[in-house]
A and B are shown apart, each in its own frame.
Chain A
Amino acid sequence: QSALTQPPSASGSPGQSVTISCTGTSSDVGGYNYVSWYQQYPGKAPKLMIYEVSKRPSGVPDRFSGSKSGYTASLTVSGLQAEDEADYYCSSYAGSNSVVFGGGTKLTVL
């Protein structure tokens, strides 16, 4: 499977909202409601932020939200804070017992 498509970078000022997209195909994002989002700081392990398109694990601020339309999933970060500056990856179940990740988006808080 090919990697999901994410923009290489995104940015916003503190307090603003930013949306990161994740585009796939009918075989992955479009075919299943199994899209997840992960936050990764430099040199650290990723952390689960959103699963099953829009669900938040306990402890993840409600400033983080997820959605999906067709073949594109989105992660929105509202009320941007300096600590949100990190890399963000999406992933999706891709059928045939496989998983595919996006290429990652570097979020910069201006």
Chain B
Amino acid sequence: EVQLVESGGGLVQPGRSLRLSCTASGFTFGDYAMSWVRQAPGKGLEWVNFIRSKVYGGTTEYAASVKGRFSISRDDSKSIAYLQMNSLKTEDTAVYYCTRLGPGSVFQHWGQGTLVTVSS
């Protein structure tokens, strides 16, 4: 069974940094692209970024709203994907979901999400 478990969320002040982790199990982590999707309170879903598998260079792509501030990485030996969030803004407040990405930009499996609150 595919499982994705996010951790690292919490309350952080504007301008500070936070790192989220996504621990995967139930599949060969290194074979898949991984992605983060967020959902502000009471709002819809927003794609954040993704990282390709090493076979495809492990390259990354970002939504314009987070480009230059957020960074996604992966450790295939530990089956963990990371989301480094810098220069956080109040509008980054959201539940952040880790997802396994399939061909055609399909978010195949989702974690339970972790809440990030950016507030002074």
Contacts and interface: CB of A to CB of B under 8 A. Distances in A.
A52 interface: yes
Q: For the side of the interface on B, what is the size category?
A: 20 to 34
Interface stretch (A10-18, A76-84, A93-101): A93-101
Interface string B6-48: 0000000000000000000000000000010100000011110
B32 to A, nearest CB: 14
Interface residues of A, number: 25
Interface stretch (B75-83, B86-94, B105-113): B105-113
A99 B44 contact: no
B51 to A, nearest CB: 11
B4 to A, nearest CB: 9
B44 A3 contact: yes
The secondary structure that dominates the B interface is: strand
Nearest to B113: A45
B44 A51 contact: no
Given A51-B104, A91-B105, A104-B45, 19 more contacts: A34-B106, A36-B106, A36-B107, A45-B110, A45-B113, A46-B97, A46-B110, A47-B110, A48-B106, A48-B107, A48-B109, A48-B110, A52-B104, A89-B45, A91-B47, A98-B61, A99-B35, A100-B47, A101-B46
Q: Which 9 A-B pairs have the closest CB atoms?
A: A34-B104, A97-B61, A45-B110, A99-B47, A93-B105, A51-B106, A104-B44, A101-B45, A99-B105
Interface of A: 3, 32-34, 36, 38, 45-48, 51-52, 57, 89, 91-93, 97-104
20 contacts: A3-B44, A36-B105, A38-B45, A45-B97, A45-B113, A46-B110, A48-B109, A51-B104, A51-B108, A52-B104, A57-B108, A89-B44, A91-B107, A92-B105, A97-B61, A98-B47, A99-B47, A101-B44, A102-B44, A103-B44
